[in-house]
Amino acid sequence: MQKQNNKRNPKSPGIHAFFGKKRYILILLPLFLLLLFLFLLLLYCTAENHKGPGRPDDFDSYSNSRVPPDNTRGSLPLPDYTTDTKSTVFEDRDGKLDFLDRYLDMPSEIIDTAYHIIYQDNSKGRVPGPSDYNIRAAFTVAAGDLPLWTKDMKKILPEQVNPD
């Protein structure tokens, strides 16, 4: 009768024998994470618009102080739409309508208007974002133009209006 050998005797140790022991994983995993971190740090520091660690900041050519770079450098400056304006500041109808055209597209000609526009333009910051606004307006338009102003509105009964 042959004796049974319970010891594992693989033909070749291969990769399973190397990674089969917990201590190797405990050594290799942090080493892998460290190499991954260093690689990502290298990518981050060599990015086109990033000043990596140890590099001095450039002085902005437009002033004598350190300022963050302007997102619009090399292009025409963006107009500033920030305002808190009431239509009562304009003396004539044309002035009111010209100012209103900066903020709203009208489906037809306006006979007269009254408005209060509060607009915070957030498009020119270091990280441009959506602008905040509150526009309250009343318009007088020709009766024949009403379908142009109401074409996408849903018709509801007065009882269906929620006062909240």
Give, as one character, the DSSP assignment of residue 74: T
DSSP-H helix ranges across the chain: 14-19, 22-45, 93-101, 146-150
pLDDT reported for residue 81: 85
The sign of the dihedral angle between the CA atoms of 122, 125, 126, 128 is positive
Mean pLDDT of 79-98: 90
Please give the Cα distance from 117 to 73 (Å, whole number): 29
Q: Report the DSSP beta bridge partners of residue 138.
A: 114
Give the tokens for residue 14.
């291969």
CB 113 within 8 A of CB 139: yes
Q: Report the DSSP beta bridge partners of residue 84.
A: 118
Mean pLDDT of 62-72: 45
Alpha carbon 155 to chain centroid distance?
A: 35
Please give the Cα distance from 53 to 49 (Å, whole number): 13
Mean pLDDT of 151-156: 88
| Domain residue ranges in the chain | 16-45, 83-151
CB 97 within 8 A of CB 110: yes
Give the tokens for residue 20.
């089969």
Please give the Cα distance from 50 to 69 (Å, whole number): 11
Residues written for the chain: 164
Look over the chain and give the mean of its residue pLDDT values, rounded to a whole number: 76
pLDDT digits (tens, 9 = 90+) for 1-38: 555 555 555 555 555 555 556 677 777 888 899 999 99
In this prediction, what percent of the chain has a pLDDT beyond 90? 32
